[in-house]
Every structure is written in structure tokens, then in C-alpha cells.
Chain A
Amino acid sequence: METITERSGPATHGADPVGLVEAARAAAAKVVDPEIPTISIADLGVLRDVRLGADGVVEIDITPTYSGCPAMRMIALEVEAAVESAGCGRPRVNLVLSPAWTTDWITQAGRDALLEAGIAPPPPASSRRALFAEEAPVACPNCGSRDTTLISEFGSTACKALRRCLACGEPFHAFKCL
């Protein structure tokens, strides 16, 4: 576990520990993915844990979607700012790798938000695909047709692929399955 943020400190006023953790969790949960700002880090499954450390500092664990996800530092800074603004002190934000993030952790609210933004959410349980197995069908976020084809497994961010709908002709982003 690696601590990303540089400075931390406890809340200055005497909030009760349970209320403090809940307030910190609510503030952190509202932070959005800077690359897909329609989905919060809570709905994306990136926010893993919020707790009170022995020194009275709020501890927050986040996990990357991909090893090289360049958004992690930005997310850590935004979590730090959100939690501090909520009066919970300056938290310690940790990067945890285990258990490894999977698309199955995206909540139903998160999947709806992706669809709303024109990004096809990953099919459920699609993370357990065999190496050379056929991929599960992906529905077009615009017209709903399942007649879609892959343009590229790699899109504008590490977590998205490029697809095209053969029914309505629109290209679209699809969340990659991990």
C-alpha cells in the first residue's frame, strides 16, 4: 500500500468518529473520474475504503482501474480537497492494488451514468473471459442494437474501447472488461 498524498491532519473540531467517517465517505464518494466525469469514483468501484486512522486522520483507499491509469494522482488530490472541504481534516489517501479492480464493481447507478453519457457499460461478469474466447455482445448506447462491431480494443483512455453500431452507424466508446 502506497500513500499518495503528502500532508495529512485530523479534523480540528471534535466530531464523533462515526459521523466523521460517514461525512468523509460522502464527500469522497462525490468525486468524479476526471476522464469520465459522468461517473463518481464510488460508482466506478475505485473508492475502496474510508476509515479513521489511529492518529485521528481519515484514511481513504483507492484502487486503479489499470496499472498505468494516469488519473490516480488527480483523483487522490480531488478526494483530499473534497474531504478537507467537508471539515473532516486532511485525509491520508492510499493506493491499494489488491484485490484487483474489475468492471464487475461498477454499480448499477454507474452503469446507467455511463450509458447516459453514450459509453456502453461492460456486460456483467464479462471480466472472466478466456484468452481467445469470443467477446460478449455489446449493445449500442444510442439505439440499443446488439449488432455492433469492434473498431479498436484501445480508445481515448485506458479503460475504453472503440466500437461502431452496424444498425444506426454511430461509432461509440465501450467500457473495456477487466
Chain B
Amino acid sequence: MTTIAITETPLVLSLLRLADTALVHSHRLSEWCGHAPMIEEDLALANLALDLLGQARALYTYAAEVEGAGRTEDDLAYLRDAPQYRNVLMAELPRGDFAFTILRGFLLSAWAHPFWQAATRSTDAQLAAIAAKAEKEAAYHVRHTGEWTIRLGDGTDESRRRMLAALEALWPYSGELFEADAADRAMIAAGVLPDPATIRPAWEATVTRVFDEALLPRPADGWMHTGGRSGRHTEHLGHMLAVMQHLQRAYPGCSW
């Protein structure tokens, strides 16, 4: 099986972390296509997936350009195996039920919105340009998933039961959104990436506001899962990539 070895400078690694999180989340959302509980929601989830796919494409294209090894966005998406993926673990968890999908989308977009907003001021002009588009899209994602979080949390006994189960499952994955390792700190110092510590208050405010209205308790921050951003993944990512990368693995280099 062909896999490629990427030279991960701090900038390339940072771009891959953002791109992989967007792509993997996009793929999980796209799994709902044709299966959502109603036609409007089918369209909505596919639209959210499309926005994230567009962001991932722009980030991969830029990562390939920065790496300078002549690779394309497709090489980065299709020819890396699970240990080379740098997404946060929350994005790769199986799609679960509708409550789980919505809450994951809410927790991730409530992070993405202030993150991209801050990244519009990046010293890296191309990242700032990508951020300017992503910020506007993320605002729609927060509103849409936030409204559903309220409707399901403060809904029927069944919707509430499912939302509480999703919350218990997802919360321990939220800590990874605010981690900063040596590569992150180098990028923060250079003004390329925002400091996650400065993103957290906005994330907390959005989560608290929506959870209050949804009558959902904000869980205590206990032990948190970690590792996705360094390539240590759950077993679910490999299965997802087996589906997503099948065509390029079976017919390397095929195009249409």
C-alpha cells in the first residue's frame, strides 16, 4: 500500500491538524446523506459537510504548497494512513445517533467560530484568507447545531435522554481542542495561530448559553482523551479511512 511521508514543519503540521479535523468531521456528517430524520436536515448536514470539505481542500492545498514536495490536496487526503492523520479524536468518533451528531457539531463549531475569527488576524496571509471564509461558515454551523441542541435537550424524554448520553460520551474529548504542544507554541509565537487559551472563553460562553437554554448540565472537566493531533487515534479512524480512501487504494492515481 502506498503511503507518503510528509515533512511536518510546525506550519505544515498545524495546517494538517486543521485540515484533517475538517475533513474527518465532514466525512462523518456526509454519512447522514439520505438517512437524516427529515429532508431539510438531510440538506443541512450535507451543507455543513460541504463547507468543512471546502475548508479542508483549501488547507490541504496550502499545506502541500508549503511542504514543497509537489504533492496535491488529494495526496494528503488519500495517501496518508491513520497514524499520519492529525485530527482531534472528537471528529473521528462514529456518527452515532442524531443527538450525538448534533452535539459533536455544536462542540466543534463553537470552537471553530472563535478560532477562525482570531485566525483572520494571522500573520500568515493565506491562513488568514482561509479563516475569513471559514469564520462565516462556522457561524451558521453554531446557530444550526445550537438550535437543535436546545430543541433536543429541552424536548421529549427520549430526545433528552439521548442528548445526555451524547454529552457524557463527547465531553471527555473536548479538552483536546485547547491543547498546545511545541509546534503550536512556535506558531502562536509567530502570530500564525491564535493561542487556544484565548479561544476558550468564547467557546465556554457559547456552550454555557446554549446548554442553559437546553437545560443540559455543563459537565465537570475531568480526565480528557488526547492523542489525535499526534497521530494516536481510536480504532474508528482506520475503518473510516478504509471507506474514504478505498478508490485511491484500489486504483492508485485514478481520476475522472
Contacts and interface: CB of A to CB of B under 8 A. Distances in A.
Contacts of B61: 2
Interface stretch (B2-10, B74-82, B123-131, B229-237): B123-131
B144 A154 contact: yes
Nearest to B125: A98
* B43, B142, B209, most chain A CB atoms within 10 A: B43
Nearest to B139: A131
Interface residues of B, number: 35
Contacts of B57: 67-68
Nearest to A131: B139
A152 B43 contact: yes
B55 A100 contact: no
A162 interface: yes
Contacts of A67: 51, 54-55, 57-58, 130, 133-134, 137
Contact of B142 (A64, A98, A101, A131): A131
Interface in A64-105: 64, 66-70, 96-102
B246 interface: no
Contacts of B52: 68
B53 A68 contact: yes
A contacts with B: majority SS: loop
A34 interface: no
B140 interface: yes
Contact of B128 (A98, A101, A127, A132): A98
A111 interface: no
B136 A158 contact: no
Nearest to A96: B129
A99 B133 CA distance: 9
Interface string B138-167: 011011101000000000000000000000
Interface string B35-71: 0000011011011101111110110010000000000
B51 A158 contact: yes
Contacts of A70: 50
A151 interface: yes
A115 interface: no
Interface string A129-148: 10110000000000000000
Given A67-B57, A131-B206, A152-B43, A100 B129 contact: yes
A66 B51 contact: yes
A66 B132 CA distance: 11
Contact of A100 (B40, B41, B43, B133): B133
Contacts of A118: none
A162 B129 CA distance: 29
A158 B140 CA distance: 11
Interface string B194-214: 000000000000100100000
B209 A153 contact: no
Contacts of B40: 151-152, 154, 162
B37 to A, nearest CB: 13
6 contacts: A64-B133, A67-B55, A97-B133, A153-B143, A156-B43, A178-B136
Q: Lowest 6 A-B CB distances belong to which pairs?
A: A68-B54, A67-B54, A98-B129, A100-B132, A152-B40, A68-B50
Interface of A: 2, 64, 66-70, 96-102, 127, 129, 131-132, 151-156, 158, 162, 176, 178
